[in-house]
Structure 1
Amino acid sequence: MRYFAEHAWVAGRVERDVAIEVADGRFTAVTPGAAGGGTPLPGLVLPGLANAHSHAFHRALRGRTHDDRGSFWTWRERMYEVAARLDPDSYYALARAVYGEMALAGITCVGEFHYLHHNPDGTPYADPNAMGHALLAAARDAGIRITLLDTLYLTSGVDGRPLEGVQRRFGDGGPDGWFSRTSGLRDSAHARIGAALHSVRAVPADFLGGLADRQPLHLHLSEQRAENEQCLAVHGCTPTELLHRHGVLGPGTTAVHATHLTGKDVDLLSTTGTGVCLCPTTERDLADGIGPARRLADAGVPLSLGSDSHAVIDLFEEARAVELDERLATERRGHFTAGELLTAATAHASLGWDDAGEIAVGKRADLVAVTLDSVRTAGVDPSGVVFAATNADVTHVLADGRLIVDDGRHTALDVPAALREAIA
């Protein structure tokens, strides 16, 4: 296939009149300044976006947790209510709809931080990975790639309190149970099997190092001040320091949120090559706080982005929020360039897909066309689209060379109807 883009983001900048050739799901030629020819892609064409942190079932909470002031912890109780209701069939239906919504937003790969493993009473399904297999099938049927970050979740607090209530379906009894269960999961053409440590609240210190060689490895880090305070009380150090002591930090590890870090924490993430996934729309929805994004970037920490609890699914909003939150925190403008924000929004490598995230020969043929004719983008310089566009401006999406969104519609799903049915 040959495509033609009047504007395309190539090698970190906007190029004009770009001919793009695709064979077997890969880019075989990318030629700026071409004379035309091929299927036209409207507006600005970007690499596929990577949603590095998702909890698919949280989508059912959108718009349903704002009836009182509450806190992260009261929100969590609502989340547990949703978690208690799902089974493999209903989770497949919900996740397929959510991943369809991601496709419409230009997301071609998702990192699913998965801890909803067993029956509500904690007993395994006949297939102990039934819930994980439901997620893998949902991504396949929505047309996007997935990294299943199967999560070790053993305790309900830093002090080692046992799981209770619906939390029992998150646990495997111990690391051996987790290793045994996840040994039944396999990579496939559209899927990678990664791992996750839920947090220092959910994994005792003695077990933290057990997953250090599983790549990619993700974990929640210092999302709440209470987590830091509990870790200091029990271990005499911050969560970042505790993870470093146990060899968890490193180039294959991504810390999610990293909102409440000390200067030493930033240094440890930097010197170990650990990445950070920021989730600004969730962090503001839950009143978590504003993390040190610019300080992390200046220290050389690779940044990625996630929609986490799916208060919205819009990687343009996540990307510009990184800049805009810095402005609020510092009362200054101009912390991140458009190129830096798009690099974070296309960070497929954080999910183990090193061959995606660029419009370049040999890379996976993921393309996202963003209209320059909407009320949001009309008159906008293409190089500044990340500061103006929303998910509604995505018109066409290719994932591995396959058209999954055509003129703003998913080619296989009626996504709004699927969401209504799954959440009803």
Structure 2
Amino acid sequence: MATFWCEWAWLPQGPRPGVRFEVERGRITAVAVDVPAGDAEQLPGMVLPGLANAHSHAFHRALRGWQTGDRGTFWTWREQMYQVAAALEPDSYYRLARGVYAEMALAGITCVGEFHYLHHAAGGTRYADPNAMGEALVQAARDAGIRITLLDTCYLAGGFGRELEGVQLRFSDGDAAGWVSRVDQFTVDGERARLGAAVHSVRAVPGEAIPEVVEWARHKPLHVHLSEQRAENEACLAAHGCTPTQLLDSRGALGPDVTAVHATHLAAGDVALLGGSGTGVCLCPTTEADLADGIGPAPELRVAGSPLSIGSDGHSVIDPLAEAQAIESYQRLATETRGHFTAGELLDVAAEAGHRSLGWTDAGRLEVGARADFVAVDLGSPRLAGAAPDAVPAVARAGDVREVVVDGERIVRDRAHRAVDAARELRDAIADLRKPR
């Protein structure tokens, strides 16, 4: 058994001082409040529950800081992304992802949802192990010390009525049955890794194929990119006479186990469909800003009944606290009013709700029976000087994270990862990917 004492800890009822947690086999077994440290292992500052990154494309991290001055749109950026995708193989993907996941750990992320669609070799040729790329990601997360839900993604078309071309061939299993056949061969360790599913988008998975993915994913997390771009909505309307949300609804692809990623450009009826079905929505504000996507209707979705989570998506920034805070700040810009989300609500978005969307219902809160994930935020940093304890989730950033414990095991100590030099690994992996080929 291990014992941790926290100067402050954010319990379900809010921040409390002098909190001691007893931990056994990675679970919290006892909580005491306003007690001395004694001989417990100390976690200074404000301890938050582990944070969840519900939407990641690990290989997009290689694009950060690359050709940032060029004008363009999401679609021109996508061509740069395809260049990186074309260069990756299982070994290089493992090295890059291990650095990415270590960077996440340093930011307080204890669980990641990896939206994985880079399945095959050049031209769509199968590797000897058809899940080699996914296994590289699972191993990378394990070695970085964080949990992963691998959202194995079905990707079958280059757009509405369009064939796949170029690097997109690496994404496809041919049809939904081929996707099911490959995923059925994929087994993961359930203690630190789980397998879920994703429909890449309604433009990349024909409507008639969606139910087969939904059926496979029953009682598992199912994620889908939704209405990130107005062009997707327009193309869906032309092809099907309905919005992407309506198309998903007609194919049985909404519900409490489903998370719609982005949901930026929604009609009022779409908001009602998502909320009424209990479908979650994962917002990725820093990526949506980086790609000039727009600002989604977060308050309306929450009121309608959609649980909100956050993701770093393209990794222009890896900072779950900044993502959560941006939900509030972007609404202020859009509405010219303040106070859409409290600090506690932002923490729930970044912690418990994100874990739920990834199938880890026993994480994201600090209480008996929950996983012992602790993120210690330095209250002595210049950024937090003078901040009230109950304001921490609304003002702290990744740079304030000092200690991280996952399942009772410390993986970050005094801002250093125990096993991975994230900066060096990222620098070397990205330099290799950018070499001329």
TM-score w.r.t. the length of structure 1 is 0.99
Structure 1 segment 158-237 matched on structure 2, within 5 A = 158=160, 160-188=161-189, 189-213=191-215, 214=217, 215-237=220-242
Counterpart of 1:147, as a letter, is T
What is the aligned partner in structure 1 of residue 426 from structure 2? Answer: 419
Match of 2:132 among 130, 133, 137: 130
Q: Aligned partners of 2:157, 2:347: CA distance in 1, in Å?
A: 37
Q: 1:388 offset after TM fit, Å? A: 1.8
Q: 1:36 offset after TM fit, Å? A: 2.6
CA deviation digits over 1:295-343, x for unaligned, max 9? 1111121001000000000001101000000000000000000111100
Match of 1:93 among 85, 88, 95: 95
Are the equivalent residues in 1 in contact too, given 2:328–2:341 (CA < 8 A)? yes
Q: 1:12 offset after TM fit, Å? A: 4.1
1:83 to 1:12, Cα distance in 2 relative to 1, 3 A: farther
Q: 1:245 offset after TM fit, Å? A: 0.5
Q: Aligned partners of 1:266, 1:368: CA distance in 2, in Å?
A: 33
Q: What SS is found at the alignment partner of 2:293?
A: coil
Aligned length: 423
Q: Aligned partners of 2:244, 2:255: CA distance in 1, in Å?
A: 15
Q: Aligned partners of 1:205, 1:412: CA distance in 2, in Å?
A: 44
What is the aligned partner in structure 2 of residue 294 from structure 1? Answer: 299
What is the aligned partner in structure 2 of residue 268 from structure 1? Answer: 273
CA deviation digits over 1:203-260, x for unaligned, max 9? 0010111122302000000000000000011101000000000100011000000000
Are the equivalent residues in 2 in contact too, given 1:368–1:398 (CA < 8 A)? yes
Q: Aligned partners of 2:429, 2:252: CA distance in 1, in Å?
A: 41
What is the aligned partner in structure 2 of residue 257 from structure 1? Answer: 262
What is the aligned partner in structure 2 of residue 6 from structure 1? Answer: 7
CA deviation digits over 1:21-56, x for unaligned, max 9? 111000011111223321111110000000000000
Structure 1 outlier segments of 4+, above 4 Å: none
Q: Aligned partners of 2:415, 2:187: CA distance in 1, in Å?
A: 33
Structure 1 segment 324-343 matched on structure 2, within 5 A = 324-343=329-348
Are the equivalent residues in 2 in contact too, given 1:152–1:197 (CA < 8 A)? yes
Q: What SS is found at the alignment partner of 1:212?
A: helix
Are the equivalent residues in 2 in contact too, given 1:221–1:239 (CA < 8 A)? yes
Q: Which runs of 5+ in 1 are unaligned?
A: none
Are the equivalent residues in 2 in contact too, given 1:12–1:339 (CA < 8 A)? no
Structure 1 segment 5-404 matched on structure 2, within 5 A = 5-37=6-38, 38-158=40-160, 160-188=161-189, 189-213=191-215, 214=217, 215-346=220-351, 347-404=354-411
Q: Aligned partners of 1:390, 1:27: CA distance in 2, in Å?
A: 26
TM-score w.r.t. the length of structure 2 is 0.96
Are the equivalent residues in 2 in contact too, given 1:65–1:75 (CA < 8 A)? no
CA deviation digits over 1:91-110, x for unaligned, max 9? 00000000000000000000
Counterpart of 1:162, as a letter, is E
Q: Aligned partners of 1:65, 1:344: CA distance in 2, in Å?
A: 32
Q: Aligned partners of 2:165, 2:66: CA distance in 1, in Å?
A: 24
Counterpart of 1:82, as a letter, is V
Q: Aligned partners of 2:67, 2:97: CA distance in 1, in Å?
A: 20
